[in-house]
Amino acid sequence: MKAIVVKEPGSYDVLQLKNIEEPVPDINQVKIKVAYCSLNPLDTHSRAARVSWGAPKMPYTPGYEYSGRVVEIGQGVDKNLLNKKVAVVGQWGGNAEFAIADTKSLILIPENIDWQISSCISTCGPTAWHLVNSAGKVKEGDNVLIHSAAGAVGILACQIAKTNGAIVYGLAGSDVKCNYAKKYGYDYLINRNKENWPEELNNISNTKGMNVIFDGVSGNEAIYNYQIIAPLGNIIYLGQTAGPPPKISISDIIGKSYSVTGFVQFFHQIKSNFIENKELYDKISKNEWKIPINKISKLDEVPNLHKLFEERQLMGKTLIKIGGDI
């Protein structure tokens, strides 16, 4: 079978398309014919050895989240899983025609959710839902700021926040990204590389500031979050693609009584017992909330996708078509 293989950590050029033997499921495992694999930030971080928790052992095949059908089961696996439509997150191996996954990691996907959405709904969906509802507790009338406004999580979070009655502001790195994100419901979009965005946000909000800020960029400009956050507001960090944020002044936190928190979807999902899936599947299947799939590539294009992602050239969600609609 064809698969992307990483033998040692490095830049995107360590990603090699190889012909390797098809895997065989072990005890409590299944073999999955992969339909689509979503490009996840952790694919790039694991390839470059930038993560330690859950990091794969080299050599390995990337593909952190993907969809497919169960075509073979290992010992101890319920036969009813055969031919089931599933998604897998966190097992790696999705950048291949076939992948192996533990049964405990399988997410059963309703047949009315299309294959492309199935490959990415299990990460950006719960992340956006819990950012808005669990971590941010966004309510009607809140001013909400989303960094990386043209990304899949940002766009979906915008739609969910609008459902809650919020006023949503977005920051993106170019006019092209702002225009792309505009159709998903943002009230205001600002090119962070063109405008003095803290001043612009202050003016637009009539100096009220932001009640909730979702920041997956961080970096040096994160210091402006502390300037524009409203009293009793919450700044939520879910990543740091531009590097770590500056140190926080405890005096400033006390003075405005705002909160600074971190976010990992897994902890919120465990607490909610995955209750969010019902609403996510319903709204997305009815096209009331849209996951912005912007680019679909082939398996041999994976190295270039990593390059484009790290150059922050991608918008929305990027998928790798492997088996397609199966």
| Confidence tier at 241 by pLDDT (50, 70, 90) | confident
Domains of the chain: 2-120+292-321 (3.90.180.10), 123-268 (3.40.50.720)
pLDDT at 249 over 80: yes
Supply the pLDDT for residue 243: 87
| Confidence tier at 240 by pLDDT (50, 70, 90) | confident
Helices (DSSP H) in 48-120: which residue ranges? 115-118
pLDDT at 53 over 80: no
Question: According to the 3-state scheme, what is the secondary structure of 227-267?
Answer: HHEEEEEEEEECCCCCCCCCCCCHHHHHHHCCEEEECCHHH
Supply the pLDDT for residue 138: 98
pLDDT at 55 over 80: yes
pLDDT tens per residue, range 130-154: 999 999 999 999 999 999 999 999 9
Task: Please tell me the distance from the alpha carbon of residue 243 to that of residue 264, in angstroms, as a whole number.
Answer: 17
pLDDT at 52 over 90: no
pLDDT at 79 over 90: yes
Across 74-78, 138-142, 199-203, 244-248, least confident range = 244-248
Q: Say which residues have a Cβ less than 8 Å from residue 269's Cβ, sequence separation at least 6.
A: 126, 130, 276
Supply the pLDDT for residue 58: 94
| Confidence tier at 253 by pLDDT (50, 70, 90) | very high
pLDDT tens per residue, range 87-135: 999 989 999 999 999 999 999 999 999 999 999 999 999 999 999 999 9
